[in-house]
Copies of this chain bind each other. A is one copy, B any other.
Amino acid sequence: MTMDYSGCDMTRPIDPDVRLLAALADPARLEILRELAGSSEVCACDLTDCCSLSQPTVSHHLKVLREAGAVVSERRGTNIYYRVSPALIERLGVIARGLVPGGLVPVADLTGRRPAVSAANN
């Protein structure tokens, strides 16, 4: 694997959470991800016309998503099939839980159910 760190700050080693969020924080990449979520597997060739972007640009975005751990890829013949990473949702959940106010707090929020919140601190 041997990550490429050229042109990297090196003063701090790049928070993986920030890297993941940055990977999602682009309209093209978020659209690609949603396309991937729509059908469990999508060929890269079908993603090329997804955001009206050139093939190299889509390839670049896929690389960013892959290196951030947001998608996984598998080559079959000439084609490469992309899938949403099985770990993605859980990682987002961990990040979100880390932002729940009041230090450590139940968790149920993420499901939409309210945990009768926050008679906690102040």
- A-side residues, CB < 8 A to B, are 12, 15, 17-18, 21-22, 24-27, 30, 33-34, 36-41, 83-84, 88-90, 92-93, 95-96, 98-103, 107-112, 118, 120-122
Contacts and interface: CB of A to CB of B under 8 A. Distances in A.
A22 to B, nearest CB: 4
Given A27-B12, A122-B40, A111 B107 contact: yes
Nearest to A18: B27
Nearest to A23: B25
Across chains A and B, which 9 residue pairs bring their CB atoms closest together, nearest first? A21-B25, A22-B25, A110-B110, A25-B25, A92-B96, A84-B101, A93-B110, A21-B24, A89-B109
18 contacts: A15-B30, A18-B27, A21-B25, A33-B99, A34-B98, A37-B98, A37-B101, A40-B101, A40-B102, A89-B96, A89-B109, A90-B109, A92-B92, A93-B96, A96-B96, A108-B111, A110-B110, A111-B111
Nearest to A109: B89
Contact of A27 (B15, B38, B98): B15
Central interface residue in A18, A84, A96, A101, by most chain B CB within 10 Å? A101
